[in-house]
Structure 1
Amino acid sequence: MIKWAIAPGKFDISYHPKLAEKGHVVADFIAGFTYPVDISPTPEAAASSSLGTRKVKPTLPVWTLYVDASSNQQGCGARLVLTTLDKVAMEYVLRFKFKASNNEAEYEALLAGLRLAKHLGVKQINIFSDSQLVVNQVTNNFDAKNNSMAAYLAQTQLLLKHFHY
């Protein structure tokens, strides 16, 4: 190591080790330089669309969306990974400026991922989530029993009408 410090010294070059970056600093940087995009459906469009689910078609190219979220005393946030047809992974980290339960944060992550996919023109998507409640409510295996979950489920169903999933 000393050899490497002395050799460049005769050329007036000095070595300074790079300090480690904390993960939350990078996430805060990304969150600070992204702009919000409101692509929620209009009430007229939501009312005119059908309620049936749309199954995956083998002829359409398939994108993949992975969502995960969490909530604790320090706040709540989510992580999205949207994989393109060319297997390029677009990763997003979200920090929510409001308090939410874990289930609400999971729905927020799913909604953000679906809005992003819609904005990018995705037609067919595979969606992965580790939230048993969200997955079972979206697939109609569980009922949404409180008003908050019912509202999240309704908004999710509106966005899912734009995809084969």
Structure 2
Amino acid sequence: MIKWAIALGEFDIFYHPKPVENGQAIADFIAEFTYPVDISLTPEAVASSSPEAQKVEPTLPVWTIYVDGSSNQQGCGAGLVLTTPDKVAMEYALRFKFKASNNEVEYEALLAGLRLAKHLGVKQINIFNDSQLVVNQVTNNFDAKDNSMAAYLAQTQLLLKHFHY
């Protein structure tokens, strides 16, 4: 490191370490986008709700969200990119401090993205997810047989009511 500092110093290039991120900003983000889950609603009740939210409205600006999650022995996390109609991309990386399956993490990523979009006042959104299970459960092609997946699906469908997607 010193050798590089000396070599670059000849050209008036100096290394300045990046300041530490404020931990309070992360805590505020988590507190703001964590909502209680109402598990009293059954997935069937949510699924049978009006499909009006799914209709595309050509007059509304379209936002785009890409979500992905991953879980392994070292932990689990997710990433999402929310793109405005003006093609401005907002990128987020999430690290979860709990054990979860890949499918659960995929749902967590989707829920985080939907909460963010709702908070920003998005009305119409295109959603991209590479999880076959999540996509097919949300589009009612697969049933959520596991209680955990049913709870994630119910929460997702409640949030999707706020959007044309």
Give the TM-score category using the shorter length: 0.7 to 0.9
TM-score (norm 1): 0.78
Q: Map residues 1-165 of structure 1 onto 2, 5 A cutoff.
A: 6=10, 15-16=13-14, 29=21, 33-34=25-26, 35=28, 36=30, 37-38=32-33, 40=35, 51-53=49-51, 54=53, 55-165=55-165
Gaps of 5+ in 1: 9-13, 22-27
Out of 154-163 and 55-64, give the one that drifted further.
55-64
RMSD: 3.2
With over 3 angstroms needed to count, the CA separation of the structure-2 counterparts of 1:32 and 1:76, relative to structure 1, is farther
- Secondary structure of the corresponding residue to residue 115 of structure 2: helix
Question: What is the CA–CA distance in structure 1 between the aligned matches of 2:60 and 2:70, rounded to whole Å?
Answer: 33
- State the distance in 2 between where 1:102 and 1:115 align: 20
Per-residue deviation, residues 121-158 of structure 1 (Å, max 9, x unmatched)? 00000000000000000000000011000000000000
Equivalent position amino acid for 1:121 in 2: G
Deviations 1:45-93 (A, max 9, x none): x89x981232111111100000000000010000010001211000000
Letter in 1 for 2:25: F
Sort the Cα spacing of 1:147 and 1:18 in 2 relative to 1 into closer, same or farther, 3 A.
same
**SS at 1:33 equivalent:** helix
In 1, the alpha carbon distance for the partners of 2:138 and 2:123 equals: 18
Q: Matches of 1:132 and 1:108 in 2, distance apart?
A: 15
Q: 1:15 to 1:58 in 2, by over 3 A?
A: closer
The verdict on how the C-alpha distance between 1:30 and 1:93 changes in structure 2, with shifts beyond 3 A counting, is farther
* Structure number, greater radius of gyration: 1
**Residues 16 and 152 of structure 1, relative CA distance in 2, 3 Å threshold:** same
Q: CA deviation at 1:30?
A: 8.1
Q: How many residues align?
A: 150
- Tell whether the 8 Å contact from 1:30 to 1:93 is kept in structure 2 after alignment: no
Q: Distance in 1 between matches of 2:92 and 2:162?
A: 21
Change beyond 3 A, Cα 1:108–1:58: same
